[in-house]
Amino acid sequence: MASEFVIVGAGSAGCAMAYRLAMAGRSVTIIEHGGTDAGPFIQMPGALSYPMNMGIYDWGLKSEPEPHLGGRVLATPRGKVIGGSSSINGMVYVRGHARDFDTWEEMGAQGWAYADVLPYYKRMEHWHGGPASEYRGHDGPLHITRGPRTNPLFNAFIQAGEQAGYPVTGDYNGQQQEGFGAMEATIWKGRRWSAANAYLRPALKTGKVQLIRALARRVTFDGLRATGVEVRRGGVLEIIPAAREVILAASSINSPKILLNSGIGPAAQLRSHGVAVLADRGGVGQNLQDHLEIYMQFAARQPITLYKYWNLLGKAMVGAQWLFTRTGLGASNQFESCGFIRSRAGIDYPDIQYHFLPIAVRYDGKAAAEGHGFQVHVGPMRSKSRGAVTLRSSDPEAPPEIRFNYMSHPDDWDEFRRCIRLTREIFGQQAMQPHVKHEIQPGAGYQTDEELDNFIRQHAESAYHPCGTARMGRADDPMAVVDPQARVIGVEGLRVADSSIFPQVTNGNLNAPSIMVGEKVSDHLLDKMPLPRSNLEPWINPNWAQSQR
């Protein structure tokens, strides 16, 4: 018998929807190509550099050569596993700034302003970060914690930000994002608290949710009404029928690809690949956005960094302690302090984010040559560059072509140079003097605009926050793909609910807003009244027009 709802993708949004639909007594089938999330590589927070680089857990997608980054090809990891990217990400929890969502509404996403989405953030959270706050949720499925910050470098970084004249914030996910403070993570009792742990496992226990391992190829239609999903399961093509609706939650790369393969997208592109046009929607796959960042690395004066564990014995000890007790360094993602600042006067809310890490190492696990060191990941939050996800061929199983078009807008270069110079000033503060020996990367030899631009061109990396490829907007907006209820415009019975629908990238990491989208869209699927709007106001720096800090 057909389930009422078929969800493609057991990721951040898909798991949240399955849980809410099941709790309301609805029958759900989730299609997920990836396998189990069991085992220490995913469940141990300290092992986060592994699953992102393992083909068993990652789709292995790559960008096309990026013309403004010297033709480099950048990895685009997306989770191919239960929990999706929430099972392979850095576990950093950032809602985004209130202004992000007010901007969404201004761009046509009616009902998605900060006042509308805050109640959904509160519904999903179980916050352990401090005394009760009216901005935070306290009994939701998603546990949010803070690291112990026992390494003195974490607080030295926050103090240096304060000494440089920036605010300190007690909770960047609460009233005030701007400033330096403790970073939050989806970690609970020493484990990665992914969407699979928070939502999918409880949903499966209801008996209302069926999980199918298969590769989704395209949505099937009767006329303009979605009726199911064509999948390949065990080498055989079959159709998983949906009695009510199909929801794509397959990532900002795979959701537009499935739409295109289903005949929904720019007509000329579809025809060039021999795909019959069902709905000519020019925005499908367009508006691709991401965050770029660089790792600014510093050699340490004192041997207090995590480098002392960066050997076989050290890793074995950390791993053993975690396996037996769920405590120690393995129980943290090591991103325990952070900052959000504005790059210049006249910008009303932060456009630069910092992740501080007490070791100099890359995402692929390569440590800096100099031994003891630490680093900060920094980059602009609101790049004006836009890219696209397009079909590579008529084969629905071929990976799509991904062109981010990074650094294609001249403002990006100015913003990135500001990031580097403001960061150097922070690390030059008194609180960092006992710790900073010298700058490893970029290094003292990079000072002029041209030198910094060369460094950025060679070393900027994706922060792995792709979004925007099925943009939400008004139903009469020719470039919008879904309406504010996440319904695909031009067809019936089909929605998209993941980071694809973001009109603009949010200020920070994308796991939290992706889960929020799943929470909010589940109420639309159930024809429920949205949660009552909040009247809480965010803090905006009163001197933003005149001053950078």
- Annotation: binding site for FAD: 81, 89-92
Q: Rounded to a whole number, what is the distance in angstroms from the first to the last CA of the chain? A: 60
Taking the C-alpha atoms of residue 281 and residue 470, their distance in angstroms, rounded to an integer, is 10
Taking the C-alpha atoms of residue 37 and residue 530, their distance in angstroms, rounded to an integer, is 32
∠ CA 143-145-146 to the nearest 5 degrees? Answer: 170
- Annotation: binding site: 81, 89-92
Q: Cα separations (Å) of 288 from 186, 197, 381, 496, 500?
A: 26, 29, 14, 15, 8
Which amino acid would we find at residue 337? S
Output the DSSP codes for 267-303: HHHHHHTTPPPSEE-TTTT-SBB--EEEEEEEEESSS
Is residue 259 within a helix (H) or strand (E), and if so which, with residue range?
helix 251-261
Residue recorded with tokens 């519904």: 123
HSE, side-chain direction, 13 A CA sphere, residue 384: 8
Helix then strand then coil, in percent of the chain rounded to 5, is: 30, 25, 45
Taking the C-alpha atoms of residue 146 and residue 309, their distance in angstroms, rounded to an integer, is 22
- Catalytic residue from among 33, 372, 465, 524: 465
Is 343 exposed, middle or buried (CB count within 10 Å of its CB: 0-12, 13-18, 19+)?
A: buried
Taking the C-alpha atoms of residue 78 and residue 14, their distance in angstroms, rounded to an integer, is 14
> Is the distance from CB of 129 to CB of 145 less than 8 angstroms?
yes
- Is 435 tagged catalytic? no
Q: At what angle do helices 98-106 and 114-124 cross, to 10 degrees?
A: 130
Q: Cα separations (Å) of 320 from 147, 193, 243, 329, 332?
A: 19, 20, 48, 11, 14
Query: Annotated catalytic sites, by residue?
Result: 465
